[in-house]
Amino acid sequence: MTTIKKILLLLSAGVALMLAAKVQACVDAVVLVHGNTASPSSWNNTYNYLRSKGYQAADIYRPNWGSKTCAACNDHNGSEETPVRNAIISALNNSCTGKIDVIGHSMGATLAAQQIDKLGVASQVDAFVGVAGAFRGLLSCGVYPFNVWNSTCGSAGLSVSSPFLDSIYGVRFGQRVYSIKSNIDQVVCSSGSCLVYGVHSSRIWGENATYTFALGHFGLQTDTAAQQYNLIK
């Protein structure tokens, strides 16, 4: 084999490796939506796990929404919506696959679901994962319009059968939909029961699967990073 042929073969192999690396590196952008009064850093375990699996920092979006000092003030209307909506739009615009995955914790799960519905982009969400969400409402908030004592439990909040929850009921939030839940969740099950009309409140209608862990409300977010990754990969 001539020297020129050897050089051409080496160049071809190098180009092939580069192309393979680019293909492997192309993943859905991921939007991680934190819960009520939390912050983007609450996703650090998930963020670091995704990075260990080859995701780049630019592939991961962590919107920062809501008051950090007044949990009862936050709901699914107005200023809380904007950061989440903008993150979903940016992720879609920059995702090399043209699709995104969305993972929401607690109130961030229902807020992310709402924005997907409002934007009409469910067909571009490859996987939606609701972690410790209250998709069927919080019994501690009462049944709308009775015993609705703050914004979080109000018409745009998480009281059972609130206008907000009714507006997203039955809506599809992605091509694949999953829930991660617990029967010892201090928030979703704070009333002594996790069930709303016989169904665990963290379960999502039409979901592909649901997973139960013996973890608290915040542990469901921080300690299930591997499961979250397996659901979106």
Domain boundary assignment for the chain: 28-232
Which homologous superfamily is 28-232 in?
Alpha/Beta hydrolase fold, catalytic domain (3.40.50.1820)
Question: Averaged over 149-173, what is the pLDDT?
Answer: 97
Confidence of residue 108 (pLDDT cuts 50, 70, 90): very high
127 Cβ contact partners less than 8 Å away, ≥ 6 residues apart: 28, 101, 102, 174, 175, 176, 177, 178, 231, 232
* Cα angle: 143, vertex 215, 71; to 5 degrees: 45
**Using 50, 70 and 90 to split pLDDT, how confident is the model at 24?**
low
DSSP 106-147: THHHHHHHHHHHHHT-GGGEEEEEEES--TT-EEEEEETTTT
Summarize the confidence of residues 147-176 as an average pLDDT.
Answer: 96
Greater model confidence, 11 or 27 = 27
Closest CA to 137 of 107, 118, 160: 160
Asked whether the bond before 145 is cis by omega within 30 degrees of 0, the reply is yes
State pLDDT tens for residues 43-64: 999 999 999 999 999 999 999 9
Residue 102 has pLDDT above 60, yes or no: yes
The span from the CA of 92 to the CA of 162, in Å, is 30
Residue 19 in this model has a pLDDT that exceeds 90? no
